[in-house]
Amino acid sequence: MTQHDIRTAARSRDAVLSRDSGMAKVTALSWRAGAAGVVAAGLLTFALGHHAAASDVPAGHQGSIQIPAQPPGQAAGSGQVTSGAS
């Protein structure tokens, strides 16, 4: 192997090691950011979910949509709608 090839191989090896080191740092930073996001979401859930006003449920209300027993009646009028034009 010539001297030129040895130097090129050494630089190539250093570049791979540098890239691997950089990827390890990015991976660690990504995991930390993800963990911080999970913690922040948990804190917000706890803070907003255990608020006194958020837990007050009116009597007879079960937290669901109330459907009326009868459909709405027919509206009075001719049924023709105009949008501002005569």
Q: Is the pTM of this model over 0.75?
A: no
Terminal alpha carbon distance of the chain: 93
Cα separation, 72 vs 67, in Å, equals 11
Q: Where are the domains of the chain?
A: 23-49
Q: What is the pLDDT of residues 76-86, one digit of tens each?
A: 777 666 666 65
Query: pLDDT digits over 7-62, tens only?
Result: 676 677 777 778 888 888 999 999 999 999 999 999 998 888 766 555 566 666 66
Amino acid at 26: V
- C-alpha to C-alpha distance for 37 and 41, rounded to whole angstroms: 6
Residue bearing tokens 């999970």: 38
